[in-house]
């Protein structure tokens, strides 16, 4: 049974709106989702957008981060006591992993979740049309996209 990722609905909608705004309908945009693990639940607390780690993160049209950006990210994790639960980025087209996505996990740690949102996160964002992939290590991923994502990704209201 895979971990569940819980994101309160208002924060989820705000995240989608911010990804949409930062990509401007022209480039990909992305963020790390930070929070805490509690048993088999991953509780989202805040996100860190790629362009806040590196202002040029989207300049090629796709999301690219270098070592400096990761240094900043680890600094935020240290000072906040949070860990990276997942990452999310947008695609202009379908929310399927690109070859680059597959070969270059943002966090190469088994269990890491990578979310992809189609159409630069244009409204409305349908959860069952999102890409959801779990990294298994050694460049292997499990595709949990589509309706399967409902078992993992919970963006409803909860306490």
Instruction: Name the residue nearer to Zn ion (CB basis): 48 or 118.
Output: 118
Instruction: Name the residue nearer to Zn ion (CB basis): 11 or 98.
Output: 98
Instruction: Name the residue nearer to Zn ion (CB basis): 35 or 105.
Output: 105
> Tokens for 55?
């202002």
Shortest CB 119 distance to Zn ion, Å? 13
Question: Residues in the site for Zn ion, rule: CB under 5 A?
Answer: 98, 101
Shortest CB 40 distance to Zn ion, Å? 27
Residue in the shown chain whose Cβ atom is closest to Zn ion: 101
Shortest CB 114 distance to Zn ion, Å? 8
């Amino acid at each position: 049974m895979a971990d569940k990722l819980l994101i309160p609905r208002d924060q989820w909608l705000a995240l989608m709106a911010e990804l949409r705004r930062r990509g401007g309908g022209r480039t990909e945009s992305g963020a790390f989702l930070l929070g805490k693990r509690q048993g088999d639940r991953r509780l989202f607390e805040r996100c860190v957008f790629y362009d806040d780690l590196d202002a040029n993160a989207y300049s090629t049209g796709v999301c690219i981060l270098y070592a400096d950006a990761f240094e900043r990210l680890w600094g935020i994790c240290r000072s906040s006591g949070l860990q990276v639960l997942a990452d999310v980025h947008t695609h202009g087209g379908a929310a399927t992993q690109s070859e680059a996505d597959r070969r270059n996990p943002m966090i190469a740690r088994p269990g890491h979740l990578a979310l992809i949102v189609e159409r630069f996160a244009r409204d409305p964002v349908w959860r069952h049309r999102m890409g959801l992939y779990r990294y298994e290590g050694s460049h292997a991923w499990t595709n949990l996209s589509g309706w399967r994502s409902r078992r993992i990704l919970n963006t409803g209201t909860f306490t």
